[in-house]
C-alpha cells in the first residue's frame, strides 16, 4: 500500500483509499451490523459493505500485480485503478447497501477515468463525488431520504461548497466527510424506523467510514466522526468518535419499512426473498427489467453499465425475479436468500432467540451440483465459480450463517488455504470453535463429509474427517488455456490436461482417454472407491466409459458419479 498522505488522486491514492476503507469497515463492521434496521433488520449491512470493498481491493491489487509482472517500469494509470475499483465492487457487491456503494464507486470512476488523466486534483474529486451521489440515486427505484443516498448527496453538496479549485484533495475530502457525518446524524429524524430504534442509518454509517478513509488517504490523519448507535436526530453530538465503541443496539419496537418508504406494521411480513445477480444485458433490456422487478417487489437497485449490471431486489417470487433476468440477458452469480419467519421482517420483540447448533460443516464447493450434494449432507456451502474464488469475508459470513458452537471448515482448494485460515481466525474471536481441514479438492471434502458424525466429540470427528480426506487422492481433467511448461512436458492451448494431486501428469487431446489414463495411474497405487464429478461440458458417455473401465480392470473398486454443474474443471476424480 502506498504511504499516506497522497497529494493528488492517482492510481496509488485509489489503492491506498481502498485498503484504508477495508480496514475501517473491518473495525466498524459489527457496529454497523448491529444498527441495521432498514430496509430490513437482517443485521448484515456492515458485513455486506466489507465484502463489497474487499472485492474492490482484490481487483485493484490485481491491476498493480499485473503491471509489476510486466516488463515496463510504469505502474497502472488512475483510469486503470479507478475502473478496477468500480468493477471489483460491482461483481462483489452484497446486499442493498453494498450494491449502492458499488454504484457510488462506479460514479466516481466515471469522472476519475475520464480522458485517462494522470491524476485528479480537488476539482476532479469534487466532480467525482457529485457524479457518485447522482448516479447512485438514479440506480434506486424509489429513493428514500434518511438513507445512504441522503448521506452521499450531503457529501457531494459539502464538497461543492469547499474550495476545490486549488487542487487540494484533502480539503475536498474533509468537507465531504463532515457533510456526510452531519447528514448521518440527522437520519433518525427522516426515517421513523431509525428514530424508534435509536440508531442512525447503517448504510450511511458505512459510507461515512469509507469517506473517513478518503480523508486519511489525503491527510494521513484518521478522521473523527459519530458513533453509530447512541441518540437520534440532529441533536446528536457531531464530534463523537468514529471508532466502534458501542455494543449491539436494541431494535425492539422498531417499525419495518419498505424500499418506497411505506412503513409496515409490527408482525407484518415483507417479501420473502432477497435476490441478487450479475447480469450481462443491453441498456434497453435493463430498463424493461427495472419495470418488471419493480412490480414484483421492493428494495430494487440496479447498478452498473457497459453491458454488465448488478441487480438487487426483495421479492416473494424469487423464480420470477430470476426469469426476468433471463429475459433481459444472461444472469449469473445468482444469490437467493430466504428471509425466514421471525427473521428480518419481524420486530426484535417478536423475533424468538435462535438456539445455536452444536456442530456444523462449512464447505467451499466449485459448482451448483456439488452445492446441492453438500447441502443434502447437512453442510453450509459457499459457491466458488470459475475464476471467482470466495473472499475470507464470505467464509466468515457462511460460518455465522451455520450458527453453531463448533464448525468444521472445508476449503476444498489448495489456493484457499490462507483465505480459510484467516476466516477461521476471525470467527474464533467471536467464540466459535473452528477446525480447518486442509482439503485440496471437493472430492476430498466429500470423503470427509461421508465420515462426519456430529454426535461424537469434536476432536474425534475432526481427526476422522481429516484422515478420510488425507486418504483420498484427487485429480482433475481440464483444458489448457495457453502454452506452458508442465511436469509432463509442454502443453499447447486447447490440450486436455490430467492433473493428479495438483500437478500435470497427462497431456492429451481427448477427454475420455485422458481421464482413463489418469484413473489408471491413480488406481495403480490401490483404492476402494472412485468418485467422479462431471462438469456441464462433459457428456454422460464419459462417465459410463470410466465406470466400465473400473468394472473391468478393478473388480473390488466401487464407483459413484455426481453432476457438479459449472465447476471450472471438466472432471474431478477422487480415489480413496
Per-residue pLDDT tens over the stretch 255-301 = 233 333 333 333 335 677 888 888 999 989 999 999 999 999 888 99
User: What percent of the chain is helix, strand and coil (3-state, nearest 5)?
Assistant: 45, 20, 35
**Does a cis peptide bond (omega within 30 degrees of 0) precede residue 5?**
yes
Relative orientation angle of helices 122-139 and 169-186, to the nearest 10 degrees:
30
Q: Please count the CA atoms within 13 angstroms of the CA of 422 that sit on its side-chain side.
A: 11
Closest CA to 125 of 115, 111, 110, 142: 111
Q: How far apart are CA 202 and CA 21, in angstroms?
A: 16
Range with lowest mean pLDDT among 241-250, 314-323, 355-364, 506-515: 241-250
Share of the chain above pLDDT 90, in %: 45
DSSP assignment string, 310-354: EEEEEES-HHHHHHHHHHHSEEEEEEEEE--TTTSSS-TTT-PPP
Does pTM top 0.75 for this prediction? no
- pLDDT at site 115: 67
User: Confidence band (pLDDT; 50, 70, 90) for 535?
Assistant: confident
The pLDDT of 420-441, averaged and rounded, is: 89
| pLDDT tens track for 129-182 | 999 999 999 999 888 899 999 999 999 999 988 865 566 889 999 999 999 999
Amino acid at each position: 500500500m502506498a504511504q499516506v498522505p497522497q497529494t493528488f488522486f492517482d492510481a496509488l491514492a485509489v489503492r491506498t483509499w481502498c485498503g484504508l476503507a477495508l480496514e475501517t469497515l473491518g473495525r466498524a463492521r459489527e457496529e454497523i451490523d448491529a444498527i441495521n434496521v432498514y430496509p430490513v433488520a437482517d443485521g448484515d449491512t456492515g458485513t455486506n459493505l466489507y465484502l463489497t470493498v474487499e472485492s474492490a481491493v482484490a481487483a485493484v491489487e490485481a491491476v498493480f500485480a499485473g503491471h509489476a509482472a510486466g516488463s515496463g517500469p510504469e505502474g497502472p494509470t488512475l483510469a486503470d485503478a479507478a475502473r478496477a475499483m468500480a468493477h471489483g465492487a460491482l461483481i462483489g457487491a452484497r446486499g442493498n447497501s453494498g450494491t449502492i456503494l458499488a454504484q457510488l464507486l462506479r460514479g466516481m470512476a466515471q469522472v476519475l477515468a475520464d480522458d485517462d488523466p494522470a491524476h485528479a486534483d480537488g476539482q476532479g474529486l469534487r466532480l467525482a463525488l457529485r457524479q457518485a451521489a447522482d448516479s447512485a440515486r438514479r440506480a434506486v427505484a424509489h429513493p428514500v431520504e434518511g438513507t445512504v443516498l441522503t448521506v452521499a448527496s450531503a457529501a457531494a453538496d459539502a464538497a461543492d461548497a469547499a474550495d476545490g479549485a486549488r487542487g487540494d484533495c484533502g480539503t475536498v475530502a474533509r468537507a465531504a466527510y463532515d457533510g456526510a457525518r452531519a447528514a448521518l446524524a440527522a437520519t433518525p429524524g427522516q426515517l421513523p424506523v431509525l428514530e424508534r430504534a435509536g440508531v442512525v442509518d447503517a448504510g450511511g454509517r458505512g459510507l461515512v467510514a469509507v469517506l473517513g478513509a478518503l480523508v486519511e488517504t489525503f491527510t494521513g490523519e484518521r478522521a473523527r466522526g459519530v458513533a453509530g448507535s447512541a441518540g437520534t436526530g440532529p441533536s446528536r453530538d457531531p464530534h463523537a468518535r468514529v471508532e466502534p465503541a458501542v455494543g449491539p443496539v436494541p431494535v425492539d419496537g422498531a417499525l419495518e419499512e419498505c424500499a418506497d418508504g411505506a412503513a409496515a406494521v409490527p408482525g407484518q411480513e415483507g417479501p420473502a426473498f432477497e435476490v441478487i445477480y450479475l447480469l450481462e444485458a443491453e441498456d434497453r433490456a435493463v430498463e424493461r427489467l427495472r419495470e418488471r422487478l419493480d412490480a414484483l417487489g421492493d428494495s430494487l437497485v440496479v447498478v452498473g453499465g457497459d453491458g454488465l449490471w448488478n441487480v438487487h431486489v426483495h421479492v416473494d417470487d424469487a423464480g420470477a425475479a430470476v426469469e426476468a433476468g433471463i429475459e433481459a440477458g444472461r444472469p449469473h452469480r445468482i444469490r437467493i436468500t430466504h428471509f425466514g419467519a421471525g427473521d428480518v421482517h419481524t420486530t426484535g420483540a417478536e423475533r424468538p432467540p435462535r438456539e445455536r447448533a452444536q456442530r456444523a460443516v462449512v464447505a467451499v464447493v466449485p459448482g451448483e451440483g456439488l452445492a446441492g450434494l453438500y447441502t443434502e449432507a447437512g453442510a453450509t456451502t459457499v459457491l466458488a465459480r470459475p475464476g471467482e474464488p470466495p473472499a475470507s469475508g464470505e467464509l466468515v459470513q457462511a460460518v455465522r450463517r451455520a450458527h453453531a458452537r463448533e464448525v468444521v471448515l472445508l476449503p476444498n482448494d489448495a489456493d484457499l488455504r490462507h483465505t480459510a485460515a484467516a476466516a477461521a481466525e476471525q470467527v474464533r474471536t467471536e467464540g466459535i470453535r473452528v477446525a480447518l481441514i486442509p482439503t485440496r479438492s471437493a472430492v476430498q471434502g466429500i470423503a470427509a463429509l461421508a465420515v462426519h458424525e456430529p454426535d461424537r466429540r469434536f476432536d474425534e470427528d475432526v481427526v476422522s474427517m481429516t484422515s478420510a480426506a488425507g486418504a483420498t487422492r484427487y485429480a482433475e481433467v481440464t483444458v489448457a488455456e495457453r502454452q506452458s511448461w508442465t511436469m509432463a512436458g509442454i502443453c499447447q492451448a486447447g490440450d486436455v490436461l490430467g492433473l493428479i494431486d495438483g500437478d500435470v501428469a497427462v497431456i492429451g487431446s481427448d477427454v475420455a482417454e485422458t481421464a482413463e489414463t489418469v484413473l489408471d495411474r491413480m488406481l495403480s497405487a490401490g483404492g476402494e472407491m472412485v468418485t467422479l464429478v462431471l462438469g456441464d461440458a462433459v457428456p454422460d458417455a464419459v462417465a459410463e466409459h470410466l465406470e466400465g473401465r473400473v468394472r473391468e480392470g478393478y473388480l473390488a473398486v466401487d464407483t459413484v458419479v455426481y453432476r457438479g454443474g459449472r465447476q471450472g474443471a471438466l472432471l474431478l476424480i477422487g480415489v480413496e
